[in-house]
Amino acid sequence: MRKICEDFDIVADIKKRRLEWIGHPVRMDHENVVKKISENKAEGKGRMGRPRMRWLEEVGNDLQEMNFKG
């Protein structure tokens, strides 16, 4: 069991699944709630300090790490 876990790269798996999931809202109809939420930005004042990385920014970083040109 331990040998199986050593060969598995959890970070790469998470990045792969994130990239697979982003295709779903991209292909959805513009009236879909998930599509609306993923495309819109929040209004109002944010918290003080450095802004947290947003999910889409992480997906973009994953694509850059994988040298995706598309």
pLDDT in tens, 35-65: 887 777 777 777 778 777 787 788 888 888 8
The token pair that represents 21 in the structure block? 């999931």
Specify whether the CB–CB gap between 22 and 66 falls below 8 A. Answer: no
Residue span of the structural domain in which 60 resides:
1-36+55-70
Q: Identify whether 31 is part of a domain.
A: yes
User: How many structural domains does the chain have?
Assistant: 1
6-26 tens-digit pLDDT: 677 888 888 888 888 888 887
Q: Identify whether 15 is part of a domain.
A: yes
Q: What is the DSSP letter of 49?
A: S
Reported confidence tier of residue 4, pLDDT bands at 50, 70, 90: low
Full-model pTM: 0.48
